[in-house]
């Protein structure tokens, strides 16, 4: 089951199209706007076996860039306030780890996806991320992290982090239980979405009835939240500075803020 697929279908006004078997798009009405939805979904028949469960791999990175760039190109002559919102519906377990991916340049494929989202945002497209499942590692960096606004479902099945918990325990030479104990005192180590929301990166947590298969009320609530996020994105800055100036960041990312201030002072 793919939460990304289920939510894209639920939010879409009509049919869901495909840039490739693992990257789908659709249109969704958000207030007075028609937004472009983009999601990565599993492709069990992918020739890249490391990217069959919804990972962002070579084909996914290029397809994301194609989907986003198409909207930017089509809207290039429109006034800024009419350029369509782009909504990244996110449920990605990671980037695709594999020898083939490394040999063929997965870093390039994911970089063009990042560049497409960032270019859309700086061109005036409100870029909104809706995290409905997992958002881990390079998969999230390529698909979702460049948004003006990031929304997430308040659900135990939502996980946002740099790596899977078992891998994090291994590289820190700890057990999973020890990592969980540390997470109770150090929010950035936590895998609980409510702890992640305290870091200043989350613009809204959404309580829904069924995160895996949204109800009609869930869809209405999500669309209302996305519409409000589009308004905030249009009236706010086009960079990502709000992630360091938000109330949450001022409280929990003091070290990051001090380091950036010191680097800026040295640069000047």
Structure tokens at 98: 């594999």
Q: What is the mean pLDDT of the chain?
A: 94
Phi, psi dihedrals of residue 90, rounded to the nearest 5°: -110, 125
Domain count for the chain = 1
User: What would the pLDDT profile of 234-255 be if each residue is shown by its tens digit?
Assistant: 999 999 988 888 888 888 888 8
Q: Which among 34, 137, 49 has a CA at the least distance from the CA of 90?
A: 137
pLDDT tier at 5, thresholds 50, 70, 90: very high
Q: What pLDDT shows up at residue 230?
A: 97
The verdict on residue 248 lying in a domain is: no
The pTM (predicted TM-score) of the whole model is 0.94
Q: What percent of the chain has pLDDT over 90?
A: 81
Lowest mean pLDDT among 26-35, 37-46, 57-66, 177-186: 177-186
247 part of a folded domain: no
At 30 the pLDDT is 97
Instruction: Give the pair of three-digit tokens for residue 175.
Output: 């057990």
The per-residue pLDDT for 129 is 98
The mean pLDDT of 136-142, rounded to a whole number, is: 95
Residue with tokens 């076996």: 49
Which CATH number covers residue 68? 3.90.226.10
The whole-number average pLDDT for the span 212-220 is: 97
Domain for residue 252, yes or no? no
DSSP structure string for 165-184: HHHHHHHTT--HHHHHHHHT
Report the C-alpha gap between 226 and 143 in whole angstroms: 17
Classify residue 259: in a domain, yes or no: no
pLDDT at position 249 is: 85
Residue 265 neighbours by CB distance under 10 Å: 8
**For residue 106, is pLDDT > 90?**
yes
3-class DSSP state of 105: coil
User: Does 268 fall in a domain?
Assistant: no
Paired strand residues for 27: 36
Range of 82's domain?
Answer: 3-240
In a domain, 204, yes or no: yes
pLDDT in tens, 145-163: 999 999 999 999 999 998 8
Query: Does residue 223 surpass a pLDDT of 90?
Result: yes
Q: Is the model's pLDDT at 105 over the cut of 90?
A: yes
Q: What percent of the chain has pLDDT over 70?
A: 100
- pLDDT interval class at 113 (50, 70, 90): very high
**120 in a domain, yes or no?**
yes
Q: Tell whether 253 is covered by a domain.
A: no
């Amino acid at each position: 089951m793919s939460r990304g697929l289920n939510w894209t279908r639920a939010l879409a006004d009509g049919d869901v199209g495909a840039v490739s078997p693992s990257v789908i798009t659709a249109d969704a009405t958000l207030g007075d706007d028609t937004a472009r939805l983009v999601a990565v979904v599993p492709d069990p028949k992918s020739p890249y076996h490391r990217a069959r469960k919804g990972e962002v791999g070579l084909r996914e990175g290029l397809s994301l860039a194609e989907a986003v760039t198409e909207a930017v190109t089509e809207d290039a002559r429109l006034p800024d306030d009419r350029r369509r919102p782009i909504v990244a519906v996110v449920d990605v377990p990671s980037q695709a780890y594999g020898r083939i991916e490394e040999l063929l340049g997965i870093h390039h494929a994911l970089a063009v996806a990042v560049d497409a989202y960032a270019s859309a945002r700086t061109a005036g497209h409100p870029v909104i991320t809706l995290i409905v499942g997992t958002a881990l590692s390079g998969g999230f960096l390529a698909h979702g992290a460049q948004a003006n606004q990031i929304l997430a479902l308040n659900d135990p099945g939502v996980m946002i982090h740099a790596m899977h918990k078992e891998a994090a325990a291994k590289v820190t030479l700890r057990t999973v239980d020890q990592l969980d104990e540390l997470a109770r005192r150090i929010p950035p180590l936590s895998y609980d979405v409510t702890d992640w929301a305290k870091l200043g990166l989350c613009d809204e947590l959404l309580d829904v009835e069924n995160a895996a298969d949204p109800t009609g009320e869930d869809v209405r609530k999500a669309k209302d939240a996305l519409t409000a996020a589009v308004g905030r994105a249009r009236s706010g800055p086009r960079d990502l500075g709000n992630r360091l100036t938000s109330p949450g960041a001022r409280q929990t990312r003091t070290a990051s803020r001090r380091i950036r201030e010191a680097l800026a002072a040295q640069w000047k």
